[in-house]
Amino acid sequence: MPDFFYQSPDDMIGKPITEIYENPKFTDVLETAQPVHGYIHDLNGHEIIASRVPIIQDGNIVGAVGKVVFKDVNELYALTKKVDSLRSELDYYKNTMLQKNSSALELLKGKNPLMVSLVDTALRVAKSGSTVLLRGESGTGKELFAQLLHSESFRRQGPFIKVNCAAVPENLLESELFGYDEGAFTGAIKGGKLGKFELADGGTLFLDEIGDMEMAMQAKLLRVIQEREIERLGSSKARKVDVRLVAATNRDLEAMIRDKQFREDLYYRLNVVTLTIPPLRDRMDDVEGLIDTFLKKFNHQFAKSVTEISSESKSVLMKHLWPGNIRELENVIERAFNMLDGSEIQLKHLPNYLQILAGHETRPFVGGALENILNRVEKEALIYALNNANGNKVQAAKTLGLSRAGLYKKLIKHGLH
């Protein structure tokens, strides 16, 4: 315990506080009667975190108490770092738990031959430690594959850290990935901050939506992949990191390279092993199994016992093209759980855009001229995207990869405006 006052208690008792140490702040509390918690304060050369609280008797201030919460501000910074790292770990375990205790492997095992061989390849690749690029439409299960690559690797005891490159503002991504040293920039937390690369040391770093990373950041990432070391912002010290990289995207990276939006050299570094996850419409033989998985998951989550799904509903689910893939199917089942009161999912528990399929004899892509089929599919995708975005056209346009004007044109064409 540091000596804050450089005097013995006997020398201090009974003296005015202003004679013990220079602290006009402490006397504030006697005047304002307002408690202040957790402020950083220089106490005779020690940077502490303290609280001050008034003592009030019969409505009058009779004194005040000051309490040192952290005797050295660096203790708090160390704690913040620890919390940061624990939070990341917690996210990973929470996610795993949310899969209702099923491992990624259990979930990904399906009937579809394409998937069976993909999971087989993933299991082999998991052990190698090579960088993996996961490709596939949104909602196909790329993150689940990333978890599989981690949990089946020799790094499974290490951390699994995810960064969504599209969700972190461009100017923050660098410090998010590489961290920073104290004083790196205005507003930087004292004591610095660990980046995700360092947090993932000994484990796996999952870079989701890598196609949304800015070119300048891509160059920095490339350097880290090549050197296997990072430099925190504001530091010139290189730090070795032992991280297995898994990246994912639903973007057309090859087209982006042609448009000079994605670096070719980074592409080759990431593309050591590529796993392309098929869209759900190409593996309809897995739909039934997935429905069962989600029934179990939501029975558990909602404490219900839904055991049936009407044949009409089932046939609609087998007919739909699932532009939102497994995420869409999962949402549809979750929505049904919110609607039903009995133990059977019926047509009325499904969203409107699915109910209208009940009258159709076939899937939209069966029968007729290709142009008509594409039109039907397009219309369904529009309805789905709008529905999923709660009618928000800007968001729906973004999901569909259309400009706003482009979306309006298509809505008019299908009479959906």
Ligand X SMILES: Nc1ncnc2c1ncn2[C@@H]1O[C@H](COP(=O)(O)OP(=O)(O)OP(=O)(O)O)[C@@H](O)[C@H]1O
> Contact with ligand X (CB under 6 A): which of 144, 194, 295, 350?
144
Residue 308 backbone phi and psi in degrees, to 5: -115, 155
> Contact with ligand X (CB under 6 A): which of 25, 327, 335, 414?
327
Binding track, positions 69-108, relative to ligand X; x by CB under 6 A: ------------------------------x-------xx
> Contact with ligand X (CB under 6 A): which of 142, 150, 283, 349?
142
Q: Which of residues 327 and 363 has its CB atom nearest to ligand X in the complex?
A: 327
> Contact with ligand X (CB under 6 A): which of 250, 313, 388, 399?
250
Q: Which stretch binds ligand X (CB under 6 A): 132-140, 231-239, 257-265, 355-363?
A: 132-140
Q: Which of residues 191 and 351 has its CB atom nearest to ligand X in the complex?
A: 351
143 lies in the binding site for ligand X (CB under 6 A): yes
Q: Which two tokens stand for residue 383?
A: 């309805």
Least Å distance, CB 366 to ligand X, is 26
Q: Which of residues 142 and 320 has its CB atom nearest to ligand X in the complex?
A: 142
Residues 105-124 within binding reach of ligand X (CB under 6 A): 107-108
Least Å distance, CB 289 to ligand X, is 8
Q: Which two tokens stand for residue 14?
A: 């009974």
**Residue whose C-beta lies closest to ligand X:** 141
Q: Which stretch binds ligand X (CB under 6 A): 52-60, 140-148, 194-202, 366-374?
A: 140-148
Q: Which of residues 201 and 330 has its CB atom nearest to ligand X in the complex?
A: 330
Binding track, positions 264-303, relative to ligand X; x by CB under 6 A: --------------------------x--x----------
How would you classify residue 139: left for phi > 0, otherwise alpha for psi between -120 and 50, otherwise beta?
A: left
Tell me, by CB under 6 A, how many residues bind ligand X: 19
Binding site for ligand X (CB under 6 A): 99, 107-108, 136, 138-144, 208, 248, 250, 290, 293, 326-327, 330
